[in-house]
Amino acid sequence: MKRLAGILLVLLLAGGAAFWWYPRAVAPHVQNPHQAAALLEEDARAGGDGVLFRTEEVDPDEVYRALEARYPFAFSLHATVRPNQTTELRVEVSRQARQDQAATYAEALAAESITEDMTEEQKLRALHDTLVWLCSYDTDTAAQTAPDGASAPFAADGALLDHRAVCAGYGRAYGMLCEAAGIQSIYVASEEMNHGWNAVRLDGQTYFIDCTFDDPVPDRGAYVSDQFFLLTAEELSKTHVWDQAFYEQVLDNMEKENS
């Protein structure tokens, strides 16, 4: 995964006439990027045109990280700083129609892969295996430098529709499959490793799933590894490096929203 900041920043200088008639209400106070990401996700899913925040309350880069973790669509985050000390953040989904198609296909795959009598762990394993069977690692794209979502292999549509992806595509596709199955998961991005994978909570414990590392290169057909399925942070830290505190906070905030 070649991960570059997906943020476009625009500064509107004081005195701009457009500011004085700008009608949008400012969002309720947010205390952290996770709360801002929740509002942006809600706006994006509803087809909205952005959310206006108090500038001192949002760091666009941190909000992007938090939203990327919880929203399985590849996107750019447009940040417009206004002279009244507010910042508008707007999500632009890359290839919206195609990613919507991938989400619809994820629902069909989830329905085929799982049954109601399965435990949550069994459902997670079935979705993991389905994705690894379906997708092959795109070694050609992996050698290129491109921002997330700039091409299909970095997004769920590459993994689910084209059957070729890099780690970002695997992670986002797995997120879509989990969402279709009614399971909460997040996407974990590691700048240090230039890599991404997923995390879930089971019985209050955080576990990690790396579908990319469980898919052999070159592809071995029906063979699926489970070496990186449902590892604890202690187990995963033997091979992976990531901002553990940040992603625990993502999961904590999502649990609070659903409680």
Query: Which tens digits make up the pLDDT trace of 35-53?
Result: 999 999 999 999 999 999 9
**pLDDT value at residue 73:** 97
Q: What is the pTM of this model?
A: 0.90
Q: HSE-up of 75 (CA within 13 Å, CB side)?
A: 26
CA distance 188 to 69: 6
Residues 6+ apart with CB under 8 A from 192: 241, 242
Q: What is the pLDDT of residue 19?
A: 42
- Give the gyration radius of the chain's Cα atoms: 19
- Burial 27-50, CB ≥16 within 10 A → b, else e: beebeebbbbbbbbbebbeeeeeb
Q: What residue ranges do the domains of the chain occupy? A: 7-93, 96-258
- Give me the pLDDT at residue 141, please: 74
Is residue 2 a contact partner of residue 194, using CB atoms and an 8 Å limit? yes
User: Which residues, other chains included, contact 115 with Cβ-Cβ below 8 Å and sequence gap of 6+?
Assistant: none
Please tell me the CATH code under which domain 96-258 is placed: 3.10.620
**How far is it, in rounded angstroms, from Cα 223 to Cα 97?**
32
| 80/89 Cα distance (integer angstroms) | 7
pLDDT tens by residue, 111-131: 999 999 999 999 999 999 999
- Residue 97: closest CA among 153, 63, 34, 47: 47
Q: What is the pLDDT of residue 2?
A: 41
Mode of pairing for the β-strands spanning 7-11 and 75-82: parallel
pLDDT of residue 4: 41
Q: Is the peptide bond before 216 cis (omega within 30 degrees of 0)?
A: no
pLDDT of residue 3: 43
Q: Which residues of the chain have pLDDT under 70?
A: 1-23, 142-150, 218-222
Which residue pairs, CB below 8 angstroms and at least 24 apart, start in 224-227?
224/128, 224/129, 224/132, 224/133, 225/132, 226/125, 226/128
Q: Are 156 and 175 in contact (CB under 8 A)?
A: yes
Q: Are 129 and 224 in contact (CB under 8 A)?
A: yes
Tell me the helix, strand and coil percentages in the chain, rounded to 5. 45, 20, 35
